[in-house]
Chains A and B, each alone.
Chain A
């Protein structure tokens, strides 16, 4: 771990100013990922800007939806009565991730910015294009059972590790940011990036920008939803595949379908074509299988993660079944519903 400066601004404007154009400066809130990365010498910030004193810790009503301050902890968000009642998918996804201790510390904004769990990214002894652009991708042809099957490039096959973001993608949240050029809103689908030939960039945040809030739209999906997470042990492991599914049904007919996948790509994965395919159809296994096939048509296996394609197909079908039946996956009872 390197030596660094430490500042603690009191306002968003001061925070943005402190960040300035310094590429070596980093915001720190919960620190649940950044501190680890510093210990591994993956991140070597010259300056840490402690944003925990910024007034971004509230959840407020806004335009029929909710505005979640960037510093609301994952635990506070998951257990907030309004979130549990109106956005149970979000609450469920958060509780599927990490541990109680980590959720108590981790912030909403930080959750969006957590880095991949690719083994090679964390290990400075190995080349990694995300960590050191141009050095190569060690995961290709290496130990990659947890890696991407969708949207990867020959530069990077890492996945985004968040559970919360998969739900936010399905709910079509909006990310509110503030920066040197002022404030702007980024639709969730445009927030995270695919690796392409610039895998070092996880998001479309511009230099100097800070996340201040996440807006949840009015549409809530309170009955027909699920967050289904498949992993290598029953808790405290990152998703091999996860599915956030949200439906509006008219009898057995699907009026609206939202589907986002975690653990399979460099960002929460949505496929508009598949969601369109579901709309107007009867909620049957056959329909769900057709949507899954469509999503996975483009899937590409790596040397040891081919199983994830079939697993994702089955997870999508089961997730949609759970959502359609109104029997969302429990995050405390580990039996799959």
Chain B
């Protein structure tokens, strides 16, 4: 790393290094508490009864046997459910798509399989679970539709666009005509599988009823502010009546962006019973809400014989629920990645009887980039080009979809450094040309891309007379390292040791910040923390300069540096004063500040901001038996300034592993006859295990970006994007067979020959 952007008044001592996560000891010793672990003296336990059918209505519920079990407090169904807001918009959370959000137990209608139909509340968990098994539900079944391939004719352009999701740009040029006229044409359909997030921690909510009638809510959520707003709306509560906390998450991947039904049910029961209630979902119930919906994609590329693109068409049809129009950015990436004069991109939805899909790590990009990056590999073969050379031929420093240059784009460095580390130059491009013993060896590559975003955020900071600093805001740390990087930024800004800084997150009593998602947290919360700390630095400096015989007399703020707990004159360490002495001498108990961060409008008007990556993958395939091993992945990432090399690397490693899962393993299998995901447990829904993961090498290339003062672009999503394409391209290189349907399982290799 050579890029050095000072964090403010301080020096980069911790920022830019590999620092172990500050919340690690709490996590490995069990001190870190998760939403389903908080207790209350009067805690009751709720267990959800899930619908056996996907569509129809409840004819009757017989809860008598459940209610008769000693220890059962109440069975809540749509028949006796206490009233909540009757306005659908009151249930719309901060990231909700257009539509009427699902309300648990609202009526006798069933709109997806696994829908909650009752909540059994009991004095202990075991009783609630047993009683839940005794609830009998009589259904009137309507045939569900869950096969998007059978529903593409009914697809539509969503009339209401989802906030924050760019619809496809207007076409430019004439893609159809150019495609028809092109000398080289590549056109194919690409399929994937429905995927479920499956964080280790299942969704849970503990609602504690306080003595004064207010509620303290521990909810598995990626940002407490979203839960807070939702509860206020649904239950008609004033902000001060509810405090929401979620200090730790056992993974989220987007599944914790929206408040889910266990929160609503726990809150409903707690308010109704006037006592604290916890509801934890089972692993199989993790298949009863958000998921990554498959999109059926068609790509048509026209090119000159030298590989220069002349036409690019990318169409996607994606499934959504019957009650909301979930949308993500699937096709735009094709227009952003490559320079082409004739481009047409379309995105439509089709309604199926499943829960509303939701954001799952790099939502839309995982899907769309898989398709375009596989198609580009097909074009590389059709034109006899090296895949990197083809991408360079169509390279652009200009985002054609919005007619703006990129703020920074070090993708060429990603190609160069990634290729060098991987040994790409030793690749024989001929399919089936590389072998090792019985196994065919395949090398493939792809580009990854994600939008670099920033959200309005604030952060608070308090420096006390003992020289300790506490910072924090409402955002959540999904396990990504947010606690750690904010601690680093604060420590560097005020020149403090790491262990003098305490970071608090996930509490509505802290400074305002949005949900953690979209890879925006480092830039948003990081900048806010830096500004709060800089404010404290200025306050401390003013106090110091005003002291009698101050060593900083007649010195400007710009001339001092904060280091080792002291304010010192740059270049003259003899002139310095300890922060603790400043506060003591000025009889100041503490210094407080709030920092505000917002996207730089001028920058945003001038530039578009994306992170990029180049992924190189090696597979070894026993072709006869269809066994694919992904033996090597190199990912070179251009994502601006890297605050913590260790947590950053872990972020990318996790993304790559998830990408390997997407390419080779993950598939939620729907039985369309009953509209139900059937492999709803971690034994049968396959995520990669240790044996599936071999060498993974992460490179961060230097990239200077000025969208925010930290130079940070975000890392949460970029690690996964393009990985599936790189692997699928490697499978083609190994076997000469183009499998356009993920995951690439044994049956697909065997079926192809």
Give the interface of A toward B (CB within 8 A).
Answer: 1-3, 39-41, 44, 117, 119-120, 122-126, 138, 141-143, 145-146, 230-238, 240, 307-308, 310-311, 314-315, 318, 334-337
Contact = CB atoms under 8 A, between A and B. Distances in A.
30 contacts: A3-B126, A39-B282, A119-B678, A119-B679, A119-B680, A120-B678, A124-B52, A125-B51, A125-B52, A126-B674, A126-B676, A138-B671, A138-B674, A142-B678, A143-B670, A232-B665, A234-B689, A235-B690, A236-B691, A240-B746, A240-B747, A307-B750, A311-B625, A311-B746, A311-B750, A314-B624, A314-B750, A318-B625, A334-B691, A335-B437
B678 A143 contact: yes
A232 B746 contact: yes
Residue of B52, B282, B620, B750 with most chain A CB atoms under a 10 A cut-off? B750
Residue of B284, B626, B688, B690 with most chain A CB atoms under a 10 A cut-off? B626
Nearest to A141: B673
Interface string B405-448: 00000000000000000000000000000000111000000000
Residue of B439, B669, B678, B751 with most chain A CB atoms under a 10 A cut-off? B678
Nearest to B624: A314
B111 to A, nearest CB: 16
B750 A315 contact: no
A230 B746 contact: yes
B451 to A, nearest CB: 32
B50 to A, nearest CB: 8
A307 B689 contact: no
A310 B671 contact: no
A307 B753 CA distance: 11
Contacts of A123: 284, 676, 678, 680
B750 A234 contact: no
Contact of B625 (A41, A124, A238, A314): A314
A230 to B, nearest CB: 6
Interface of A is mostly: loop
A307 B747 contact: yes
A249 B181 CA distance: 65
B629 interface: yes
A142 B622 CA distance: 29
B94 interface: no
A311 B438 contact: no
A335 B129 CA distance: 44
Nearest to B660: A233
Contacts, number: 111
B678 A233 contact: no
Contacts of B750: 307, 310-311, 314
Interface of B: 50-53, 113, 126, 129-130, 133, 282, 284, 437-439, 620, 622, 624-627, 629, 664-665, 669-671, 673-674, 676, 678-681, 683-684, 686, 688-692, 745-747, 750-751
Contacts of B678: 119-120, 123, 142-143
B13 to A, nearest CB: 42
Contacts of A236: 689, 691
B686 A233 contact: yes
A1 B686 CA distance: 25
Given A2-B133, A125-B676, A307 B751 contact: yes
A2 B127 CA distance: 9
Contact of A336 (B625, B674, B681, B747): B625
Given A2-B130, A125-B53, A125-B113, 15 more contacts: A117-B683, A123-B678, A125-B51, A125-B52, A125-B676, A142-B678, A143-B670, A143-B679, A145-B747, A146-B684, A230-B625, A234-B691, A236-B689, A335-B439, A336-B622
Contacts of A138: 671, 674
Kindly list the 8 A-B residue pairs having the minimum CB-CB distance in the complex, ordered from nearest.
Answer: A125-B52, A235-B691, A307-B747, A234-B691, A119-B678, A336-B622, A143-B678, A143-B669
Contacts of B683: 117, 238
B411 to A, nearest CB: 32
B109 to A, nearest CB: 18
A140 to B, nearest CB: 11
Contacts of B684: 117, 119, 146
A39 B285 CA distance: 13
Contacts of A307: 746-747, 750-751
Residue of B53, B673, B676 with most chain A CB atoms under a 10 A cut-off? B676
Nearest to A334: B691
A205 B684 CA distance: 28
A40 B282 CA distance: 10
Nearest to B682: A236
Contacts of B746: 230-232, 240, 307, 311
A159 B113 CA distance: 26
Contacts of A308: 747
A160 to B, nearest CB: 16
A310 B749 CA distance: 11
B676 A233 contact: no
A3 B671 CA distance: 32
A201 to B, nearest CB: 24
Nearest to A2: B130
Nearest to B667: A232
A138 B669 CA distance: 14
Nearest to A145: B747
Nearest to B687: A233
Contacts of A318: 624-625
A142 B673 CA distance: 7
Contacts of A336: 438-439, 622, 625, 627
A233 B130 contact: no
B692 A233 contact: yes
A104 to B, nearest CB: 17
